[in-house]
Amino acid sequence: MRDILAPESARWRRFTDVFAEVAELAGYGFVIPPMMEDLGVFTRLGEATEIVTKEMYDFVDKGDRHVALRPEQTAGVCRAYVEHRPITPWKTWYSGPNFRYEKPQRGRYRQFDQVGIEVLGSDDAHLDVEVIALGWEFYRRLGLQRVELLLNSLGEPGDRARYIDALRSHFESADLTAQSRATLAKNPLRVLDSKRSEDESAIEAAPTIDQYWSDAAAEHFATVRAGLEALAIPYTIDLKLVRGLDYYRRTTFEFAGLTLDSAQNALGGGGRYDGLVEALGGPPTPGIGFALGVDRTLIACDDEGVFGAPDTDVDVFVVDTVGGGEAVVLTHELRAAGISVDRSFDGRSMKAQMKGANRSGAAYAVIVGSDELAADEVAIRPLRSGGDQVSVARSELVPDLQSRLEEGNR
């Protein structure tokens, strides 16, 4: 778990703002699920996934309830749906931290942020296209180009079950590592996700899901593909794409960051989870969504040199050599006019205050000394560009600075 300090933290906020813009342009409403839920909400994600069996921060609270910090937000959104029964399709977006007890490394942390969307109540394949397109549009707005969309369908539940049987018998007679053998006993699909080179040839030879798609699943997938093509969103079919969570049916997808290490290159992913609401005690309700990892996406942005930390420098720094009281009023006035201002405290020397002004990155220092005070004036000194210090009447300070800053922005 890490501290995110300024200016990096400002970048995180802007990241969420850009995501909010994309989601809200498409009619998605912001949802804030709690960070902790009854453990049962998360065990519904599947007893066969490590996220649930090994990585959860769960504990018994003071009221003897077995609770857990959320490892992701889809389950909480579905639980909220069951509880509030909003009108469908219920289109939501979210942002916030999740917790998984994983081995920390670059791009993998125990507390990590995601932004995401979930839609409940429609199984229209055009919705799958909308959801994927929103993820794609978000990357475009960040300026990322080296992102690959991987697409698969896990079929209807029956297709998936038959495919799992076929995988099990294939892998039982194949040459697998001991770890993959253990995975096979619990969840044959996850064997496909092994990155160990000794497993490669068995995975290569494994049957693929498309041989098990029902007509309905194949048709749904074809509509999704046609929609992406109509939007000119490039994708790669990956019939062995399996995701870490167990709830997926039909469309699944991942956004891979091509500049990242292949073990950690999933910037985000999602898919349909049509049975999850029912598993949480609600009526049969289809659902689809995705979540994007903030950390990894920002690593990809660094790699591509896009979406850097925003400029958080103030516009003005007030230097007050007559005791600091003038700066109280000046900073207040300037802030009220929408100009960002900082100052120093503790009665520092003129020299120390000017040093602070330079360090602040401000475009102008506004200086009040005893001469200025006596003449009811202030001095303005440009800090970024060269240029002479000028004196202006105190009453002219706000409009004067406003026009200088406007000029600077032009």
Residue 75 or residue 368: which is nearer to ligand HAM going by CB? Answer: 75
Does position 193 bind ligand HAM by CB under 6 A? Answer: no
Residue 101 or residue 361: which is nearer to ligand HAM going by CB? Answer: 101
* Stretch in the footprint of ligand HAM (CB under 6 A) among 20-28, 210-218, 265-273, 340-348: 265-273
Does position 187 bind ligand HAM by CB under 6 A? Answer: no
Does position 74 bind ligand HAM by CB under 6 A? Answer: yes
Identify the H or E element spanning 245: none
Decide: 296 and 142 in contact? Cβ < 8 Å. Answer: no
Q: Which residues in the 106-135 window bind ligand HAM by CB under 6 A?
A: 107-109, 112, 114, 116, 118
Helix (H, G, I), strand (E, B) or coil at 373: helix
**Before 284, cis peptide (omega within 30)?**
no
Residue 117 or residue 339: which is nearer to ligand HAM going by CB? Answer: 117
Does position 190 bind ligand HAM by CB under 6 A? Answer: no
Nearest approach, Cβ of 225 to ligand HAM (angstroms)? 19
CA-nearest of 120, 115, 70, 69 to 94 is 115
Alpha-carbon distances, residue 128 vs 133, 245, 267, 274 (angstroms): 8, 18, 18, 12
Chain center to CA of 298: 9
Does position 378 bind ligand HAM by CB under 6 A? Answer: no
Question: Dihedral of CA 315/320/324/325: which sign?
Answer: negative
Helix (H, G, I), strand (E, B) or coil at 107: coil
Non-local (6+) Cβ contacts of 63 within 8 A are: none
Site string for ligand HAM, 267-296 (x = CB under 6 A): xxxxx-x---------------xxx-x-xx
* Stretch in the footprint of ligand HAM (CB under 6 A) among 22-30, 143-151, 227-235, 263-271: 263-271
In 111-260 the beta strands, taken as DSSP E runs, fall at: 111-120, 147-153, 236-237, 249-257
According to DSSP, the β-strands at 111-120 and 287-293 are antiparallel
* Stretch in the footprint of ligand HAM (CB under 6 A) among 24-32, 207-215, 262-270, 303-311: 262-270
Residue of 33, 244, 286, 356 interacting with ligand HAM (CB under 6 A):
244
The two three-digit tokens of residue 8, written as one number: 């990096």
Nearest approach, Cβ of 69 to ligand HAM (angstroms)? 13
User: Which parts of this chain interact with ligand HAM (CB under 6 A)?
Assistant: 72, 74, 100, 102, 107-109, 112, 114, 116, 118, 243-245, 266-271, 273, 289-291, 293, 295-296
